[in-house]
A and B are shown apart, each in its own frame.
Chain A
Amino acid sequence: EAQVTQNPRYLITVTGKKLTVTCSQNMNHEYMSWYRQDPGLGLRQIYYSMNVEVTDKGDVPEGYKVSRKEKRNFPLILESPSPNQTSLYFCASRRPSGRKGNEQFFGPGTRLTVL
């Protein structure tokens, strides 16, 4: 089954404790992206990657890091989480822009609470 998986699904942590949210896709997609979703603000893009070792900032990159060492994986790293990073996070993947059928497939989400 074609899918994007995220782990963990739920996480409660404390300020300053480094954490990683993993994302993996099995569709051989080149493009992957991380979003956060907050009430009244919608989905905002954090980082995206057009291929292995190619990443770029989205609209809200501050406080986050990413890496793309393998095509299927795109982890999101919070080096020193703060309460304003409490949010619902989604990973997504798709084929490159310009090709028909380049819709994004989203993971199930990770609900993060930073105390």
Chain B
Amino acid sequence: EDQVTQSPEALRLQEGESSSLNCSYTVSGLRGLFWYRQDPGKGPEFLFTLYSAGEEKEKERLKATLTKKESFLHITAPKPEDSATYLCAVSGGYQKVTFGIGTKLQVIP
């Protein structure tokens, strides 16, 4: 059974204080690891897809990396508008997608 564990559950940062979110996973036949951002009461918004260990992707202040067992979402010099819940998900060999519970990020001005 595919599993995704995200840590920490919640993270509070000062504006400009860089940090990383962790996503540990087990999956049979990784087809893709996804990062999403979700604002309260809204649907998840796609950020990145990573396909193989060693891959990295960047978008503004966010950078996602992937190893064979975990992924990190690095947030550099965050701003208050980066406050949201960040979700990690994996797609295995049977078209199913398994999500983690998410990390709720709060960036304080």
Chain A positions within 8 Å of B, measured between CB atoms, are: 4, 31, 33, 35, 40-45, 48, 50, 56, 58-59, 90, 92, 97-98, 101-109
In the complex, what distance in Å separates the CA atom of A24 from the CA atom of B101? 26
Min CB distance A112 to B, Å, is 14
A-B contact pairs, 10 of them (CB 8 A): A40-B101, A42-B102, A43-B87, A50-B95, A92-B43, A103-B34, A104-B97, A106-B44, A108-B42, A109-B41
A106 partner, pick from B43, B49, B96, B101, beta carbons under 8 A: B43
B49 partner, pick from A45, A56, A92, A103, beta carbons under 8 A: A103
In the complex, what distance in Å separates the CA atom of A50 from the CA atom of B44? 20
On whether the beta carbons of B45 and A42 are closer than 8 Å, the reply is no
In the complex, what distance in Å separates the CA atom of A107 from the CA atom of B32? 21
In the complex, what distance in Å separates the CA atom of A76 from the CA atom of B32? 26
Specify which chain A residues have a CB less than 8 angstroms from the CB of B49 in the assembled complex: 101-103
Majority secondary structure of chain B interface residues (helix, strand, loop or mixed): strand
Chain B positions within 8 Å of A, measured between CB atoms, are: 31-32, 34, 36, 41-46, 49, 87, 89, 91, 95-102
Closest A residue by C-beta to B51: A100
A45 partner, pick from B34, B43, B97, B101, beta carbons under 8 A: B97
Specify which chain A residues have a CB less than 8 angstroms from the CB of B96 in the assembled complex: 45, 48, 58-59
Specify which chain B residues have a CB less than 8 angstroms from the CB of A33 in the assembled complex: 97
B91 partner, pick from A35, A58, A97, A101, beta carbons under 8 A: A97
In the complex, what distance in Å separates the CA atom of A59 from the CA atom of B100? 14
A42 partner, pick from B31, B87, B91, beta carbons under 8 A: B87
Q: A43-B44, A108-B42 in contact; A56/B87 too (CB < 8 A)?
A: no
In the complex, what distance in Å separates the CA atom of A107 from the CA atom of B46? 12
